[in-house]
């Protein structure tokens, strides 16, 4: 476990590159001295040092301050090694799913299951508030507080930037029953805040967790706009990260009607240059702490271009909500085997659950501060693979690498990302 020196969140978490940019520090700070925005300071908190009393409140709820999975992995007996690195925590049932509303499904990153479930929860007064990610303006994603099902359209689509969802948990606009949509680090932060008995956690009735391979600095989006030839961002009408036939395209529309886009697969090249340190050292992909964990339904790849979700009901409450949404006409669901749900994303789990552990171990050999996960034996081949991926992330984050990346044609990235994905799936 990472121990903070003198309880200094800035020095021991943010400066060490261990901040997840979840925003929980803003929500729990008793003196309101912490500000955080997705598009400022790489999405990391900014402190008013003159007013900060170093009370340690923020640190005690920080998911970056300890082992990412913490006791969750131990409690379930899931000590990861190469043989069982695809375990996915508690599971009640596993499904393929999509929204029954065609427009809702088509406007989503994959099957629209998140939107459909939230619509079911709001329409039936099970919750009065949904917290998720939308656009503050045409360009900058930020946490949104949704009070009615009509406004859920603003939450549709993935937003590939680190967004501090948790920062709004102390907002006065929140109701008494909340559905919170977040990434594994967001849910870990809420779990830790609950352990510290912060009252706002009592309002959260259901947690929807999204699978997460890695976050991106908001600079990744800005870099892409430059590469697409956008000189004046005031000309942009809208952007979408996953528009159109699944898995979608990054698409921007200008106010003059012009559209520019690249495929989602091509877009993934940005991960090599704009992935935060905490993300490539993180060993959780499938949102262990969620009631319902959701991902792309890759089992339908090449079959249905309209998009499906892989839905894992982790708790009895989560399973009940999925089935009630289905019976009420909000969802289409197909039961699938647990192993099929796991294998659908095993390439991501191999990278996160197994190689991340090795990357941390290798980085510590060079004096880099990292999370410390359960130790296990690994082959020289696996260490070489972990070292290779670590080197890619480290070298990619140099300014010169980011600068040069802008001169590589999209067609090169498209070929490289498509071919490497196929090889990676075979290796894992």
Q: Which of 215, 213, 216 is nearest to 349 (CA)?
A: 213
3: number of Cβ within 10 Å: 8
pLDDT at 64: 86
Q: How many CB atoms lie within 10 A of CB 346?
A: 16
pLDDT per position as a tens digit, 319-355: 999 999 999 999 999 999 998 998 888 888 888 888 9
Which is it for the CA torsion 352, 357, 359, 364, positive or negative? positive
Q: For the chain, what are the domain ranges?
A: 69-428
Average pLDDT value for the chain: 88
pLDDT digits 0-9 by tens, 175-222: 899 999 999 999 999 999 999 999 999 999 999 999 999 999 999 999
- The whole-model pTM stands at 0.92
Report the SS3 class of residue 274. helix
DSSP track, 93-120: EEEEEEESSHHHHHTSSSS-HHHHHHHH
pLDDT < 50 positions in the chain: 1-7, 68-79
């Amino acid at each position: 476990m990472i121990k903070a020196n003198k309880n200094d969140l800035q020095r021991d978490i943010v400066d060490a590159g261990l901040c997840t940019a979840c925003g929980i520090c803003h929500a729990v700070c008793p003196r309101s001295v912490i500000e955080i925005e997705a598009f400022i300071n790489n999405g990391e908190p900014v402190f008013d040092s003159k007013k900060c009393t170093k009370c340690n409140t923020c640190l005690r709820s920080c998911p970056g301050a300890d082992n990412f999975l913490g006791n969750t992995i131990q409690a379930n007996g899931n000590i990861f090694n190469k043989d069982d690195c695809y375990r996915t925590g508690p599971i009640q049932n596993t499904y393929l799913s999509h929204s029954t509303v065609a427009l809702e499904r088509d406007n989503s990153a994959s099957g629209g299951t998140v939107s459909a479930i939230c619509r079911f929860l709001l329409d039936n007064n099970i919750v009065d508030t949904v917290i998720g990610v939308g656009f503050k303006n045409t360009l900058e994603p930020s946490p949104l507080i949704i009070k009615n099902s009509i406004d859920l359209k603003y939450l549709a689509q993935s937003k590939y930037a680190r967004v501090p969802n948790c920062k709004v948990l102390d907002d006065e606009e929140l109701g008494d029953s909340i559905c919170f949509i977040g990434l594994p680090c967001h849910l870990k932060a809420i779990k830790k805040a609950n352990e510290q008995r912060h009252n706002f956690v009592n309002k959260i009735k259901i947690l929807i967790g999204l699978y997460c391979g890695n976050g991106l600095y908001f600079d990744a989006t800005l870099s892409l706009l430059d590469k697409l030839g956008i000189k004046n961002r005031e000309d942009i009408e809208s952007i979408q990260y996953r528009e159109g036939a699944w898995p979608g395209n990054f698409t921007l529309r200008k106010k003059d009607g012009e559209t520019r886009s690249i495929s989602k697969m091509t877009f993934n090249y940005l991960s090599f240059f704009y992935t935060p340190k905490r993300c490539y050292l993180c060993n959780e992909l499938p949102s262990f702490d969620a009631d319902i964990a959701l991902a792309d339904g890759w089992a339908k790849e090449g079959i249905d271009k309209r998009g499906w979700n892989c839905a894992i009901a982790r708790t009895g409450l989560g399973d009940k909500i999925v089935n009630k949404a289905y019976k009420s006409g909000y969802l289409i669901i197909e039961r699938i085997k647990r192993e099929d749900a796991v294998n659908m994303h095993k390439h991501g789990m191999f990278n996160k659950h197994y190689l991340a552990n090795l990357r941390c171990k290798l980085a510590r050999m060079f004096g880099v501060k990292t999370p410390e996960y359960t130790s296990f034996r690994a082959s020289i081949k696996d260490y070489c693979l972990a070292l290779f991926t670590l080197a890619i992330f480290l070298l990619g984050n140099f300014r010169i690498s980011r600068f040069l990346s802008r001169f590589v044609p999209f067609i090169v990235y498209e070929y490289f990302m498509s071919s490497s994905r196929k090889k990676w799936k075979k290796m894992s």
